[in-house]
Structure 1
């Protein structure tokens, strides 16, 4: 399993041909208390960089972008009833969606954890 990060504060965990996507702990901290999450429907085809989900907090609404292209396998239905899961476990149970990977080459432009942490420190 490999985990990558984007400069838009999404994380993507790759296992075989399936990727799980969510927002980073840093992102949820910036948003504050999350009150609503809209995830993409299964079967949706996403392009890299395309808006894929929406997260709303008491502070702001924000788009979540697809770090890579692929077809959505499932959205995290638990977030519908408990959007605060993103606050309590952003990089675990608070995942947003899973998708099949269209092109593994798109992973090459993403950061590893050390690079992401350095990026966050520079903000």
Structure 2
């Protein structure tokens, strides 16, 4: 996994690792901490089309239910079944084994944040 400084971020507390035309997507450690203990993850099916800013899944914790938004337009290339089976991976390794989906995209949207911009957003 890439260093946090090398990732792109959204204002919805998701991170993207861009590799060619594929983005691996997860939620940030900040979001995982705010959610609390994650107990359920619902992800879109592989092969499904997603649109940036649209809800594509759900993350439930002992505190709340959160929505997973697609950060890019594209097609789901892979959904992390390990996270569905063991939702606690989102808390224990949000930037590694706790990744959520991989999306094949044609273009990155405007408005993605750098590491420093995301840290400023969260006040960290």
Bin the TM-score by the shorter chain.
Answer: over 0.9
**Per-residue deviation, residues 3-36 of structure 1 (Å, max 9, x unmatched):** 2101110111100011000100000000000000
TM-score (norm 1): 0.93
Pick one of 24, 28, 37 that aligns with 2:28.
24
For 2:106 and 2:43, how far apart are their aligned partners in 1? 19
Extract unaligned runs of 5+ from structure 2: none
Alignment partner, residue 117 of structure 1: 119
Partner SS for 1:109 = coil
Q: Deviation at 1:45?
A: 0.4
For 1:81 and 1:21, how far apart are their aligned partners in 2? 18
Q: Deviation at 1:99?
A: 0.8
Partner SS for 2:113 = coil
Q: Is the 8 A contact 1:71 1:102 kept in 2?
A: no
TM-score (norm 2): 0.92
Once superposed, which parts of structure 1, at least 4 consecutive aligned residues long, lie more than 6 Å away? none
